[in-house]
A and B are shown apart, each in its own frame.
Chain A
Amino acid sequence: MAVVTRGHGEPLAQSPTGLESLDVRKLGMWAFLGSECVFFGALIASYFVYRPLILAGDPKPHEVLGINFTALLAFILLISSLTMVLALNAIQHDRRRAGAYWLLATAVLGTTFLGGQAYEFTKLAQEGVTLSSGIFGQCFLVLTGFHGTHVFLGVIWLLACFARAMRGGFNSGNYIGAEIAGLYWHFVDIVWVAIFTLIYLIP
């Protein structure tokens, strides 16, 4: 029999299935991330539907910037995933200051990624690739732009978590807020894994 809670760890009753023991906030985040899969799946699908046209003319991001630059962006997000999980690990072990600084490092890396994406968009605009320049501009910029928006929101969320951690808001008994922020951040990284492979690397 599993303990039934209402998301605050307070036991209410016994459940034969065990489903009620799941934290509702974490469950809600996973439901949101599942819907986000469909959201980004739709954007990637539109890119591949129009890919024959895209291959016909417009300059490609890896042609303008080179694969090495986008690989650098991928590495930055990978490192930020490590710092995020180390932040949660530190918080869970009551190393609150270390956890706060790992959160800050994650936010800084996210901001660096956004800077790289802004540079990429600027270079593409100089090559004539904009939202109104054609089908490639629309598909590519909407897809990567929405990902960048997610990164931006994640950075804001991480900074809020950092401020809370500095005030001692997280500890080994109360870390679910940081864990949920981490789930969101790792999902943003996972989406970039897909975009990096499908859009930038596949010829």
Chain B
Amino acid sequence: MERPHPAQPVPHGASGVPGTHAAPSPEAGHPGAGRYVLVFIVLFIITAAEVAVTYFPEIPQLPALMTMAVLKFGLIAAFYMHLRFDSRVFSAFLMLGLFLAVGMLLSFLALFTAHYREPYEPVVEQTQPGTGTPAVGTSAVSGATGGTTGGVATPMAGR
């Protein structure tokens, strides 16, 4: 459906302006119930496919699951949240939030796990001979982990 130009007068409901003062035509720009049900069927199928993919480890899980999740995300935002029919300003707010969220996720992953090496082995408690008191030791695998924070190993410790 064609998006109304922002500089042109738009029908009520199409731009988010509630029609409280004139003859309403709220359905203008929004799809009907049939379209909503159709979108739901597609979402249902994608979700079922997501679950099915997990039963087939030979399928590359990460790209397959991420693709389907992005598809579902887009369908809900475009049709159920009406971003496909509303002003692009609303889309911009969501995209800005998504950009910051994804940027933060990737930044933190790069910052904290870039030097992480498999396999990870959890911290083991060693008993000092003669004293019987436990002393927290580090991983047996050199470089896998290097320290503790309050008894809990952290991936960024010991770098």
Contact = CB atoms under 8 A, between A and B. Distances in A.
B37 interface: yes
Interface in B5-45: 5-10, 12-13, 15-22, 24, 26-27, 30, 32-33, 36-37, 40, 43-44
**Residue with the greatest number of chain B CB neighbours at <10 A, chosen from A82, A85, A186:** A85
Interface in B46-81: 47, 50-51, 53-54, 57, 61-62, 65-66, 68-69, 72-73, 76-77, 79-81
Nearest to B79: A85
B104 A23 contact: no
Which size bracket describes the interface of B in this complex? Answer: 35 or more
Given A41-B102, A52-B116, A194-B69, A33 B20 contact: no
A9 B21 contact: yes
Given A17-B6, A23-B17, A89 B32 contact: yes
A47 to B, nearest CB: 10
Which size bracket describes the interface of A in this complex? Answer: 35 or more
Contact of B66 (A50, A134, A197, A203): A197
A101 interface: no
A45 B110 CA distance: 11
A202 B63 CA distance: 10
15 contacts: A2-B15, A8-B20, A18-B7, A18-B87, A21-B15, A36-B97, A37-B97, A40-B101, A41-B102, A46-B108, A49-B108, A75-B47, A92-B30, A173-B19, A190-B77
Given A8-B20, A30-B93, A193-B72, 12 more contacts: A21-B17, A41-B105, A45-B105, A49-B109, A56-B122, A71-B51, A172-B24, A173-B24, A189-B80, A201-B65, A203-B54, A203-B57
